[in-house]
């Protein structure tokens, strides 16, 4: 998206001015990722004091001096805001990027929020994965599950979308296995389940709107460079 002021000034000079004066907007996935992202941004001198006020009901916060805006959104909505240009930059988990499959550039692995996307279930389900049997797979991530089973394993499965506590699937007989995030592994362990196959590693990533990347190249590249130096 272009800034309101963009287009009034023509030619190269206009472009440079707009790069400097336009707000750069960040969409951060609510929760731990946002907290960690703000800490990291502080390390490169980008702060947003407004955001620290816990009593505030504001949804969009600004750093007027550096022409930056920040807002918090539900994780799965972050790639949507970035694709449509409502945010220039987003920070969200790789799981969400894969599941949402939006047209955005993934530019940086921030290295925190590390976990794994896995196929999990009771040990007894292990052999069902080896013989290409028709099985039921419960997941909060139906697109990731579909891609893994159909395109990588070439196994036809019945995918059942759940919205949370996915471990219940095999425990109560809804599904044979699940596709879910494993961090410490304690949820699986406490419920008698195990990792049966690993799909991919996950972590927090920075994504950028495709037009912003062209129009705000210098500012965004500088930001990526500075962040990379800290990782």
Residues that bind ligand PRP (CB under 6 A): 140, 164-167, 180-187
Q: Find all residues with CB under 8 Å of 131, minimum gap 6, and list them.
A: none
The nearer residue to ligand PRP, 170 or 215, going by C-beta atoms, is 170
**Residue 96 burial by CB count (10 A; 0-12/13-18/19+): exposed, middle or buried?**
buried
Select the residue whose beta carbon is closest to ligand PRP and give its number: 164
Minimum distance from residue 5 beta carbon to ligand PRP (Å): 41
Residue whose token pair is 């400097």: 20
Minimum distance from residue 16 beta carbon to ligand PRP (Å): 44
The nearer residue to ligand PRP, 186 or 214, going by C-beta atoms, is 186
The nearer residue to ligand PRP, 22 or 140, going by C-beta atoms, is 140
Mapping DSSP to helix (H, G, I), strand (E, B) and coil, where does residue 166 land? coil
Instruction: Return the structure tokens found at 167.
Output: 């471990």
Minimum distance from residue 188 beta carbon to ligand PRP (Å): 6
Instruction: Return the structure tokens found at 2.
Output: 């272009």
Minimum distance from residue 171 beta carbon to ligand PRP (Å): 12
State how far the Cα of 190 lies from the Cα of 187, in Å rounded to an integer. 5
The nearer residue to ligand PRP, 182 or 208, going by C-beta atoms, is 182
Instruction: Return the structure tokens found at 26.
Output: 């960040």
116-148 residues labelled b (16+ CB within 10 A) or e (exposed): bbbbbbeeebeebbeeeeebbbbbbbbebbebb
The nearer residue to ligand PRP, 80 or 187, going by C-beta atoms, is 187
Minimum distance from residue 184 beta carbon to ligand PRP (Å): 3
């Amino acid at each position: 998206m272009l800034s309101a002021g963009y287009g009034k000034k023509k030619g190269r000079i206009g472009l440079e001015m707009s790069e400097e004066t336009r707000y750069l907007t960040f969409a951060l996935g609510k929760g731990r990722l946002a907290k960690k992202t703000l800490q990291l941004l502080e390390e490169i001198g980008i702060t947003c004091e407004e955001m620290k006020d816990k009593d505030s009901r504001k949804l969009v916060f600004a750093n007027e001096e550096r022409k930056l805006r920040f807002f918090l959104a539900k994780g799965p909505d972050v790639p949507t805001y970035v694709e449509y240009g409502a945010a220039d930059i987003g920070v969200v988990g790789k799981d969400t990027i894969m599941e949402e499959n939006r047209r955005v550039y993934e530019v940086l692995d921030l290295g925190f929020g590390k976990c794994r996307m896995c196929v999990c279930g009771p040990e007894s389900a292990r052999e069902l994965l080896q013989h290409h049997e028709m099985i039921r797979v419960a997941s909060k991530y139906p697109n990731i599950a579909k891609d893994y089973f159909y395109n990588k394993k070439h196994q036809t499965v019945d995918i059942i979308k759940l919205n949370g506590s996915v471990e219940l699937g095999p425990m109560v007989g809804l599904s044979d296995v699940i596709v879910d995030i494993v961090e410490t592994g304690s949820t699986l362990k406490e419920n008698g389940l195990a990792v049966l196959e690993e799909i991919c590693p996950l972590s927090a990533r920075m994504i950028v709107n495709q037009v912003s990347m062209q129009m705000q190249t210098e500012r965004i590249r500088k930001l990526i460079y500075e962040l990379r130096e800290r990782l």
